[in-house]
Structure 1
Amino acid sequence: MSNDSLRARIESVAEVAANLTNTPDAPKYHHVVPQSYIRRWTPGRKGSVRSVRVDDGRGKLVGPKKVGGIDDFYRLEADDIDDTSTPPLVVEVLLGVFDNLARVRIDELLAAEPGPVTDVEMKADLAMVVATQMSRGQSFRQEQFDLLEYTSRQDPIEHSKVAARMWLSSTGQSLDDETIEVTAAQMREKDRRSLISKDHKPQAIQLMMQNLTKLVVPLITRNWAVYRTQTPLLTSDDPVVVIGGPSTDRRVKPGNAGAAVWIYPIDRNRLLAFFLPDISPQLPFVLDAAETYEINREIVAAAYEKVFEHPDDDIASTITVPPRPIAPRAETVIDLSRRPTRWFESGEPPPAPVSRWYQR
């Protein structure tokens, strides 16, 4: 899809959302993973997927329409939001545009042979899709709630000074008191004008939209490759997984920028991988059974709550991971950045999957 074509579709989103708001057709069950994506793990268009809770192993067969979603998850509504200028369903409708783009582009990837992905337009479109998927789920939403809760406990003037000092330092500017004071004041005014609402849920949705746009360019600049797997893959309610690599602490979530590889299962036997620019995708573009098991374990460990598999597979029952830890209350900015993984209390977390990937 060209930029002009995508822009034209986005321009119609607000009108569509406004018309939907008070109609019986207004979507209430909002998918954190698209229906068309979940259907890639069903036996036929009308089939069901097996949904399995990671922490207790309970599973059931569910149709794609009622799996991987939460009621009103993207609904923008608060006393201080004017629903005539910001329709409550505008984000849900916009995500539908990205979901249609995902369906078309993933179909094209699946029709090609495994190997490097170099088509510029394909990467531009799928970068938007993947960035959206990374930002739309419950994991990211919880991270934003934690950030907002932390910020609400800080003195706004002192907090803005800390943020100003960090930004000035990162950009190589002067750190004298006057510059910090002026920059902090500018940040406070910008935040005041830019916030969509005083309520945390609309703020978290706003941060979601801002985050996905920041991820697109870093994604495009990575080296992409599609791998075929010898045994089936499963997926999850948070299917884009960031892997730091063999030298990182597996007990905390790696940062997106420095992570060796991001992975995204695109169907039962295909995995899309995004490597750092200085890491070349390694032949063969086939993952054997042991490597596929490692990838599936990574997907299960990164899931927020559930994994999804084809009804003929029995993958989830073969993989045991610790419960998802509750992040301790953040007292510093560093606390916010060190998100615990399921391996947080493990003395020996498993090594990063597919060891041959990390050769430079």
Structure 2
Amino acid sequence: MLPHPIALRAQTSFEHEWLSEDFIAESRRVAAAAEESGNSPKKHHFVPQMYLKRWALGGKVQRTEVKTRHVHHPQPYEEVARKPNFYTLPRIGTRMDLPLKWVERHLGRIETACTRHLDVLGDWTGVISNETVKRDMCVFLGLQTTRTVSNRNRYLALIQAPSQQKRRVMKRLHPQLTSAQLDEAMQKQHSDPKEEALHLLFENVRWPVAHGLYQREWAVYRTASPIITCDDPVIFVAGPPFGRERSLGAESAAVLYPVDPFHVLVMLRPGLSHRGPYRLSRSETESINVEVVAGSDLGTFERPGDAIACAITVPPRRQQQLDDEAAALLNDAELDRVYRQDISPQSRWEPGSSGPPWPVPRWYR
């Protein structure tokens, strides 16, 4: 018999100081002190400033909208990839709730510690053997995966999806569960959907994202020409033998993470090993840029003047959310399709459609 989902999560949970209750408590104390001094940030970044700075020239980056390929005027890197009060919840008739204002401060403490790790990766080519760098970056990249706007929307879709649909999908995934176990597995931790989404942000780092990233061999490749990044910069690549319509998650896809305009961190599928050379050709570099554009939510970021993203066309994303009334009009197969589309990252390509070749074939063998 398969273990209960909660027991399985406990067995594969990724443990790290930055995910501990003590570290969170310190973040809360720092946030409270900042609130008392009137120094609490209101505009929250879902892609870290210290990361975007790596693409800045004269303090500015170039943003391109993927859907329209519109290129914006260069903007200060501090002014992009952010939303007002993204990690706080407004209470009706009260000031911003302080206990939830610690999240931006918490993320900032981790980003500060990882700035030097990114510097190390930007000066490196080849396999990464430094365990401290790898473990710390698992948390950093896990949080980068879960903190974006697109993931917030997926969490809300999961939380607010019709209960009968969630129950049916859970039962299909874990047929051994009793009714009582299903009730426990589906139980929410918080009544407010946005607060529950923030809870999932951290829970999904512990399992499965950080755990899935750690079970891999990591290497840094130098590119022959500039690469770009985006608003969802941890890129999951299904790769062959799958077609372009297939999406895989942190446990089974190859993972790409642009480190700077000339370095990309590559995490192969679990069980595979890197084979040099650790320098990508121009055509291989161009294929990485296609993956970054395809993996983005709304936009990409690059050095002003590089003009890379505006030359790449990908299909638009498709989303459809349902309430209980609309869900009642669909059959089970249609419900499953919509539900999976709402709560999981989806490929931009339709089944049966042709797309660009997967990048760097040696990464999948």
Task: Answer whether TM exceeds 0.5 for this pair.
Answer: yes
Consecutive unaligned residues in structure 2, runs of 5 or more: 1-14, 328-333
Alignment of 1:109-148 (within 5 A): 109-112=121-124, 114-148=125-159
Provide the C-alpha distance between the structure 2 equivalents of 1:62 and 1:20, rounded to a whole number of angstroms: 27
Is the CA contact (8 Å cut-off) linking 2:320 and 2:338 kept in structure 1?
A: no
Equivalent pairs counted in the alignment come to 335
Quote the residue 1:92 is aligned against: 104
Q: Find the partner of 1:106 among 106, 110, 118.
A: 118
Query: Where does structure 1 differ by over 6 angstroms across 4 or more consecutive aligned residues?
Result: 81-84
Aligned pair in 2 of structure 1 residues 206, 286: CA closer, same or farther (>3 Å)? Answer: same
Residue in structure 1 matching 2:358, options 344, 352, 355: 352
The answer to whether structure 1 residue 304 and structure 2 residue 297 are counterparts is yes
Counterparts in 2 of 1:31 and 1:349: CA distance versus 1, 3 Å:
same
Letter in 1 for 2:81: G
- SS of residue matched to 2:249: coil
**Residue 230 of structure 1 pairs with residue 224 of structure 2:** yes
Matches within 5 A, 1:1-360: 9-21=23-35, 24-43=38-57, 47-58=59-70, 59-78=72-91, 87-112=99-124, 114-150=125-161, 153-155=162-164, 160=167, 163=170, 166-167=173-174, 169=175, 175=176, 180-187=178-185, 191-192=187-188, 194-195=189-190, 198-214=191-207, 215-259=209-253, 261-327=254-320, 329=322, 332-333=335-336, 335-338=338-341, 339-344=345-350, 347-359=353-365
What secondary structure sits across from 1:12 in the alignment? helix
Say whether the 8 Å CA contact 1:117–1:224 is kept in structure 2: yes
Contact 1:228 1:285 in 2 (8 A): yes
Contact residue 325 and residue 341 of structure 1 kept, 8 A: no
* Normalised TM-score (structure 2): 0.83
Q: Distance in 1 between matches of 2:154 and 2:180?
A: 29
How far is 1:277 from its partner?
2.7
**Residue pair 1:77, 1:202 contacting (<8 A) in 2 also:** no
CA RMSD of aligned residues (A): 2.8
CA distance, structure 2, for counterparts of residue 333 and residue 346 of structure 1:
20
Q: Distance in 2 between matches of 1:180 and 1:6?
A: 31
* Superposed displacement of residue 109, structure 1: 1.8
Distance 1:164 1:18, change over 3 A: farther
1:355 positional shift = 1.7
Asked whether the 8 Å contact 1:243–1:262 carries over to 2, the reply is yes
Q: What secondary structure sits across from 2:160 in the alignment?
A: helix
Change (3 A) 1:75 1:351: same
Which has the higher mean CA deviation after the structures are superposed, 335-344 or 120-129?
A: 335-344
- SS of equivalent to 1:52: strand
Q: 1:5 & 1:293 partners in 2: Cα distance?
A: 35
1:80-137 residue CA offsets vs partner (Å, 9 max, x unmatched): x9987x613111111111211221211122233x000111111101111111111110
Alignment partners' CA distance in 2, 1:161 and 1:57: 40
1:227 shift after superposition: 0.3
Moved more, 307-316 or 333-342: 333-342
Q: Could you tell me which amino acid in structure 1 is paired with residue 47 of structure 2?
A: V
- Identity fraction in percent: 30
Distance 1:184 1:347, change over 3 A: closer
TM-aligned CA distance change 1:165 to 1:246, over 3 Å: closer
Aligned to 1:172: none
Q: How far apart, in 1, do the equivalents of 2:292 and 2:128 lie?
A: 22
Q: Report the Cα offset of residue 23 of structure 1.
A: 5.3
Match of 1:60, SS state, is: coil
Q: 1:115 to 1:348 in 2, by over 3 A?
A: same
Structure 1 length-normalised TM: 0.84
Deviations 1:136-188 (A, max 9, x none): 101211211221221xx225xx9557636743x4xxxxx4xxx7133234446
